[in-house]
Amino acid sequence: MTIQILGTGCPKCKALEANAKKAVEEHKIDAVIEKITDIDEIMEMGVMMTPALAVDGEVKSAGKVLNKDQIAAYIKEGE
């Protein structure tokens, strides 16, 4: 499973990335977290507001910082 954090590196993007790492660790999820900072790639995924979270290429949330439990729910939904 691949979890993608879409954003240019703003504080909210970094917070979303940190929460995703916590969710993976605490729920013992086998996943790779990758950060996508290229604005063209972000827009190709249909995201107009960052930060955004995608699981296996499917955007689950955009424009808000999810907490670790919200992220875990999206990840488990994709398993």
Choice among 5, 13, 20, 72 that is catalytic: 13
Choice among 2, 9, 10, 69 that is catalytic: 10
> Can you give the length of the chain in residues?
79
| Active-site residue, 70 included | no
Closest CA to 66 of 56, 52, 76: 52
Encoded tokens for 3: 């979890």
| Active-site residue, 9 included | no
Q: At what angle do helices 11-26 and 68-78 cross, to 10 degrees?
A: 60
Residues annotated catalytic, as ranges: 10, 13
